[in-house]
Structure 1
Amino acid sequence: MLSIERQCQCMQLLIETFTVPIEIRALKTANIYRLETDDSAFLIDSGMSDNSIKSIEQNLKKIDFVFITHLHIDHLGGVLYLHEKYGIPAYMNHLDLDLIMNANEDRDGYIKRHSEIFRVNGVPPSMVEEIITMHPVIRYFDYYSKLDFVQDYRKINASGIKFVEVPGHSPGSTAVYIEDSRDLFAGDHILDRITPNIAVYGDEDDLGNYLESLEKVRAMKVDRIFPGHGNVITEPKIRIDDIEKHHHDRMRAIIAALKSPKTAYEVARDITWSKGRKMDTMNFMERNFAILETVSHLKHMDRKGMVRRIEENGIIKYSYIQ
């Protein structure tokens, strides 16, 4: 546990950082933050499971509520344990909350819609079924179904705290901003050593939303970013530059792969991913992320007029516009 106490202009602020284990091979750990101000004490995120919370439970002091930055299981997987054992309320952005509730109300429809995203983007049928079983929401349906106690974050009344909507990594991704100390608790919006995955949540331009959210943070007065995974970022604008460069490089790689019209699946298979990896070496959860990230980039590039979307016999292909 790391504790930082700061005397800000208008309030006292205590920041406690807990690094907890999670069951994701590529990440291994997640950060949970406990903030204590003059009038409230709360957690930001809750790890991936009961194990995440139990690993730090004996070190936790007063908690008035939990704020969840976004819907992914490695951030809200411990909130049910806190609610059931201690009665602690939880809050998150209503857009992500609605996605969870709607998925639970129509599980078959949710699975069908996501299967269709893969199918129309050229993923072989046998692979679609295996990828879908590893989809993070579908895999944890039963857990998500118990989160009806979670409320809209706009009901929180905490002085000195601002909530900043930063859609892209998920539609409702929301950061916590302490204006006095110029600290931003960003969830997975900005990470220190990896770039957040940008997937597909509907007809939105998720990558476009993400890039706009990066610019929103750039325009803010932020000295430090506390991310959902990894180390504190002390040079936010440099890190934002790095992430933007990554996405522009990814778009250039996609263009290079489009020597002829291809599906998003074919592009994802052809391009090189982080650490020189190819998609064929990934497990099914990682392939899920790689394919959806390729779709999100191609949708953004289509909207920007960089590529052209072609539909043939119910399958979407993209061609590069010279």
Structure 2
Amino acid sequence: MPQVTDHGAGVRSVAVPIPDNPLGHTLVYVVDTDRGPVLIDTGWDDPASWDALTGGLAACGTAVGEVHGVVITHHHPDHHGLSARVREASGAWVAMHAADISVVRRTRETEPGRWLAYMADKLTAAGAPEEHVAPLRAARRPRLPGLSPALPDREIVPGELLDLAGRRLRAIWTPGHTPGHVCLHLEEDHPARLPGHGRLFSGDHLLPRITPHIGLYEDPDDDTVPDPLGDYLDSLERVGGLGPAEVLPAHLHPFTDAPSRVRELLDHHEERLTGLLTLLGTPRTVWQVAERMEWNRPWADIPYGSRNIAVSEAEAHLRRLVKLGRAEAVTGSGPVTYVAV
């Protein structure tokens, strides 16, 4: 049976499974509007996920063919994956922030082999051992996530109300997890009259118990050096100031007291940055930093793909330290090493 929860006042959620992922599900929100249901995210592109989504919509008293629109919090495949199938079945519009639309377009248009070469070069520059990089160099035409979702046909403009008839849903730009991540503030009284200002669909930006991945904004054609962790920390402050009565995240469960959760996450990242400075008493590569950082399991037990994600997150933290003037790259080092200042 589909896992459907009624959150009151025309908002429900459908738990859509993520294959082989410890998170288990993406919570796809179904928001009633005067023109029909609008989805916030869609879930992973997988037959079982599609069945869960369509079954959940039926349990909500509607059907996928009646969906009026789809609002995507960010481009990751557990959020955007089924958007093309939903649009094909319903004719719904699909909306996303311009920065993530660019990522979707680039992923669709870039030759997969180029992505592999780019990833291999990035890992080599990070100091990854050759035995880790070799499978990427040997791979052929991988099936990369992000090739099948819809290219969005509407742009989410930060600060503006979305075109949802009969609802007040305002877009809040919250880069960090992705460059175009948005939270969505439902500026309506809470149905249970909880204290605070409306409800916040937080995507992956603000989650209970876990911290979202903050990695790099990868683009083979862009040589700029963004600061995604800095973006994320600034975005957290912005969301905390909204003071929503309830947060409706894309994973786990709804929760209250967003400012306290924001403070926990800010403290977590400050502690992590401080810990990295201790590691950087000795010059280390990004890979050497990643294998010494604290993760949810020992480094030896982290799977291959997850190690790549961990390296990306380690580099995001190092970039933040460099920008703050607390660390620097060692001139002439190759692969590049970093040291505390």
Name which of 183, 196, 209 aligns with 1:175.
183
Moved more, 256-265 or 289-298: 256-265
Over the residues paired in the alignment, what is the CA RMSD in angstroms?
2.3
Counterpart of 2:338 in 1: which secondary structure? Answer: strand
Cα contact 1:101–1:145 (8 A) shared by 2: no
Cα contact 1:131–1:288 (8 A) shared by 2: no
1:171-250 map, 5 Å: 171-181=179-189, 182-202=198-218, 203-250=225-272
- The letter for the 2-side match of 1:254 is L
Unaligned runs of 5+ in 2: 190-197, 219-224
Moved more, 42-51 or 308-317: 308-317
Name which of 124, 129, 133 aligns with 1:124.
129
**Per-residue Cα deviation, 1:182-209 (whole angstroms, up to 9, x for no partner):** 1110110011121000000152100000
Moved more, 257-266 or 148-157: 148-157
Structure 2 partner of 1:33: 29
Q: TM-score, normalised by structure 1?
A: 0.88
Residues in 1 aligned to 2:203 and 2:98: alpha-carbon distance in whole angstroms: 16
Residues in 2 aligned to 1:18 and 1:279: alpha-carbon distance in whole angstroms: 34
Counterpart of 2:67 in 1: which secondary structure? Answer: coil
Unaligned runs of 5+ in 1: 7-13
Cα contact 1:115–1:132 (8 A) shared by 2: yes
What's the offset of the Cα at 1:133?
9.5
Cα contact 1:130–1:284 (8 A) shared by 2: no
What's the offset of the Cα at 1:304?
0.2
**Per-residue Cα deviation, 1:15-64 (whole angstroms, up to 9, x for no partner):** 10111211143211111001114455300011112422311313412421
Moved more, 50-59 or 194-203: 50-59
Moved more, 46-55 or 189-198: 46-55
Alpha-carbon spacing, 1:53–1:145, altered in 2? closer, same or farther (3 Å): closer
Structure 2 partner of 1:81: 85
Counterpart of 2:284 in 1: which secondary structure? Answer: coil
Structure 2 partner of 1:3: 6
Give runs of ≥4 in structure 1 deviating > 6 Å: 131-134
What's the offset of the Cα at 1:77?
1.3
Alpha-carbon spacing, 1:97–1:64, altered in 2? closer, same or farther (3 Å): same
- The letter for the 1-side match of 2:259 is K
- The letter for the 2-side match of 1:192 is P
Moved more, 150-159 or 35-44: 150-159
How many residue pairs match? The answer is 308
Counterpart of 2:330 in 1: which secondary structure? Answer: strand
- The letter for the 2-side match of 1:30 is T
1:44-59 map, 5 Å: 44-50=40-46, 51-59=48-56
1:102 aligns with 2:118: no
Cα contact 2:73–2:181 (8 A) shared by 1: yes
Alpha-carbon spacing, 1:58–1:165, altered in 2? closer, same or farther (3 Å): same
Structure 2 partner of 1:294: 314
Residues in 2 aligned to 1:231 and 1:220: alpha-carbon distance in whole angstroms: 20
**Per-residue Cα deviation, 1:221-256 (whole angstroms, up to 9, x for no partner):** 311111110111211111111111211121122122
- The letter for the 2-side match of 1:320 is A
Alpha-carbon spacing, 1:279–1:175, altered in 2? closer, same or farther (3 Å): same
Cα contact 1:131–1:287 (8 A) shared by 2: no
Q: TM-score, normalised by structure 2?
A: 0.83
Residues in 1 aligned to 2:229 and 2:143: alpha-carbon distance in whole angstroms: 24
- The letter for the 1-side match of 2:18 is I
% identical equivalent positions: 27
Residues in 2 aligned to 1:292 and 1:47: alpha-carbon distance in whole angstroms: 24
Counterpart of 1:270 in 2: which secondary structure? Answer: coil
Structure 2 partner of 1:272: 294
Structure 2 partner of 1:9: none
Alpha-carbon spacing, 1:145–1:23, altered in 2? closer, same or farther (3 Å): closer
Residues in 1 aligned to 2:151 and 2:5: alpha-carbon distance in whole angstroms: 32
Residues in 1 aligned to 2:175 and 2:310: alpha-carbon distance in whole angstroms: 19
Residues in 2 aligned to 1:40 and 1:146: alpha-carbon distance in whole angstroms: 22
Residues in 2 aligned to 1:49 and 1:263: alpha-carbon distance in whole angstroms: 36
